[in-house]
Amino acid sequence: MADGTKDALSSNQMWGGRFASGPDAIMEEINASIGFDKKLYAQDIRGSIAHATMLAEKGIISSEDKDKIITGLNTIMSEIEQGSFQFSRKLEDIHMNIEAKLADIIGAAAGRLHTARSRNDQVALDFRLWVKEELAKTEKMLSDLIAAFLDRAEEHADTVMPGFTHLQTAQPVTFGHHCMAYVEMFGRDRARVRHAIDHLDESPIGAAALAGTPYPIDRHMTAKALGFREPTRNSIDTVSDRDFALEFLSVAAICAMHLSRLAEEIVIWSTPQFGFVRLSDAFSTGSSIMPQKKNPDAAELVRAKTGRINGSLVALLTVMKGLPLAYSKDMQEDKEQVFDAAENLELAIAAMTGMMRDMTIRTDRMRQAAGAGYSTATDLADWLVREVNLPFREAHHVTGRAVALAESKSCDLSELSLAELQEINPAITDGVFNVLSVDASVASRTSFGGTAPAEVRKQIAWWRARN
């Protein structure tokens, strides 16, 4: 064996395994993006049709070539959608796969399509279009989730439950009011989605590699044709910008966090110890060994997906943090993070919408728990301020003594006698018992945004008008 042959074999063994053919195989593997960016085929074809139309309008290519290009692109679209298109890793990405196929179909005219553009602005365009469409889908799904909460809030505007701080019973609230807290959260998420759409609504095509182009193109024409508000204003920034992807991931991460908080509550509420809700078989599973178990798997998986979505945001932030202007190949790592986050956010929102509409609310268990833990203690303190004119801090002290007495007697505040309460403060009258029930407590919280059923219904009406 010649020394050179031995060296080559040794080198290939060092590269190892699936890369046995050496550096070329590694380069193909690391460079190719067609495995994931083929998801952008519709956006790529749409952008190319708009670009070819503009080139012909400006006299840069002939109308005949434009018509051939558009016919060929529509043929490719049909092949991809029918599943007969053959993607090639050797052609690296969706752009080159489509361009090569176009040349096979229409010949030399295909070579004119890439006039006055680069893969740099082409990929920026495709990705922006995809993210914009995904954000529109997310907006609709959030509206559906909000509608589910509004329906449950209206159904349970009077249903009393314990409100918690530190996961300890704090004050009685209504389940309708609790639902409306999530309406506010997901309403903010939807507002962020709308802002992100507005922020990215600029067309990158025409920025070319990084410096623009000497051809007399009309970027406003292509922007309008593709549904953008206007073209981007700096060609260097255009091809190096992935803020729109980061904003999508930021929106997704915040929304996933809200979904996770809700999922955590559903997990807790569905335990036998709480028993506030009962999940249907559609959103829970049994145990392989314990027949009595009904596990809230859908909620747990929604909770888990938050980590995955957060990871996508951190990954892309890390990719972008050290890149000099303009384009770098590092940016090829942007799409898988966004695609994965989008898929999992869609699934999480859909699952939570289904659970909210499907779950059984156990109002009896909620009411029973609402009065536990001396949840109306603050109502007693507020009554002492209003009716006896005590300073709140003194009223707080009196109430604390009343709670201690009730604890020692293993009874509720409302079960203490008037005489016992008057031993703590002789100014207390039997009128105090009007505020010590959970129903009286929630009915009294009439401040704007409070838990009183009438106030909850006002907020439901406000949101229905805007959803």
> Which positions are annotated as active-site residues?
166, 287
- E-strand spans in 366-448? none
Q: Exposed e or buried b for every residue in 287-315, given b needs 16+ CB within 10 A?
A: eeeeeeebebebbbebbebbeebbebbeb
Unique residue bearing structure tokens 């361009």: 99
Unique residue bearing structure tokens 């569905």: 270
Contact 348, 302 (CB under 8 A): yes
154, 235, 300, 432 from 265: Cα distances, Å: 20, 48, 10, 33
For the beta carbon of residue 212, count every other beta carbon within 10 angstroms: 17
Pairing of strands 168-174, 277-278: unpaired
Burial of 239 (0-12, 13-18, 19+ CB in 10 A): buried
Provide the total of helices (H) and of strands (E) in the chain, helices listed first.
19, 6
User: Rounded CA gap, 348 and 200, in Å?
Assistant: 24
H, E, C per residue of 243-260: HHHHHHHHHHHHHHHHHH
Contact 222, 205 (CB under 8 A): yes
Can you say how many angstroms the Cα of residue 347 is from the centroid of all Cα atoms in its chain?
10
Contact 283, 237 (CB under 8 A): no
- Euclidean distance between the first and the last CA atom of the chain, given in angstroms as a whole number: 77
Unique residue bearing structure tokens 């009183």: 452
